[in-house]
Amino acid sequence: MASSHLFSSFSLTLLILIGLASAQLSPNFYASSCPRALSIIRSAVSIAVARERRMGASLLRLHFHDCFVNGCDASILLDDNSTFTGEKTAAPNANSVRGFDVVDTIKSQLESACPGVVSCADILAVAARDSVVALGGSSWTVQLGRRDSTTASLNAANNNLPSPFSDLSALLSAFSNKGFTAKELVALSGSHTIGQARCTIFRSRIYNETNINSAYATSLKANCPSSGGDNNLAGLDASTSTVFDNAYFTNLLNNRGLLHSDQQLFSGGSTDAQVRAYSSNSATFLSDFGNAMIKMGNLSPLTGTSGQIRNNCRKVN
């Protein structure tokens, strides 16, 4: 079983690799080669989120689901081709990840401004930050200079992404394997303060689990019957699912976590104290979240001459 203070040798090695990769990234990477890059991304994200606030959560989730599968290399954006089956149809992603059209729009605008310069992986990293800001969260400095992969892995996506049905021990293990502490697990899980989930993902919890607020469960059942309605949606944050705040943690204290994996963070285990801390101090949560996102963005990026800068984020050049 993983713990917050004990890492496997694999995790320690991964931390070293993250540090080396981070040294090759820079927040000023495009200062000369594409000085308008960040403003182009920010503007496109602002427009997309203004049109549909849920899109902010979707863009943030794209970055997370990219980085946890073979590193932050935009592999999640690749469509299937004759040489590999990509990640879009993996169980954690199918009928779930979205926002690809927004990324396409951003990439098209960047290619017009500075062809062949800005990677799709960097677009995902910046769009995630700008989405949080657009929904009222705090900003952080995004390291840049990632390059794009030329392949993707259905198998890796199926095996590396944490499940919404995971118990705390499985969550701790999944995040520890990527070099994250229990505190960082809780901080990153706070991304569920925005966004929605499909009925099929939380049905078992509201009908079968006892550690859920009964009134909350009853309200959810109206939109998520015991059979049917699989694609009906509910906010991950029962209070303010379109505002990036710390209400998610307050909900956990009151057994109002939507997903099984959410409520596991406050279930009598080792992460209870951290949930309480974030529920009472929004500033600390937002600061820790930003730092954890910077660390996540440094997961095994391709740099230098590795990979490529895709002209189209959906396919290899």
Active site (catalytic) residues: 65
- Smallest Cα–Cα separation from 307: which of 70, 151, 149, 153? 149
User: Alpha helices of the chain — where are they, by DSSP H?
Assistant: 9-23, 37-51, 54-67, 100-113, 120-134, 154-160, 168-176, 182-189, 199-208, 214-221, 247-253, 260-263, 272-280, 282-297
75 annotated ligand binder:
yes
8-state DSSP, 87: S
Calpha distance 79→93 (Å, rounded): 13
Judge whether 237 is annotated as a binding position.
Answer: yes
* 230 annotated as a binding-site residue: no
192 annotated ligand-binding residue: yes
Residue closest to 146 by CA, chosen among 35, 283, 273, 308: 308
Q: CB under 8 Å to 293, separation ≥6 — which residues?
A: 128, 129, 140, 188
For 182-193, give one letter per residue: b (16+ CB within 10 A) or e: bbbbbbbbbbbb
Find out whether 71 is annotated in a ligand binding site.
yes
122 assigned to a ligand binding site: no
Task: Find residue 235's DSSP bridge partners.
Answer: 196
* Separation CA 301–CA 72 (nearest Å): 5
Q: Is 204 annotated as a binding residue?
A: no
Question: Per the annotation, does 73 bind a ligand?
Answer: yes
Q: What are the distances in angstroms from CA 106 to CA 122, 170, 172, 242, 268?
A: 11, 36, 34, 22, 44
Which two three-digit tokens encode residue 215?
């009134």
Which residue reads 């799709």 in tokens?
120
Burial class (CB in 10 A: 0-12, 13-18, 19+), 163: middle
Length of the chain: 317
Is 243 annotated to bind a ligand? Reply is no
The answer to whether the annotation marks 104 as part of a ligand binding site is no
How far is 232 from 200, CA to CA, in rounded Å?
8
Annotated binding site for heme b: 192
Annotated binding site for Ca(2+): 66, 69, 71, 73, 75, 87, 193, 237, 240, 245
Annotated binding site for substrate: 162
Annotated binding site: 66, 69, 71, 73, 75, 87, 162, 192-193, 237, 240, 245
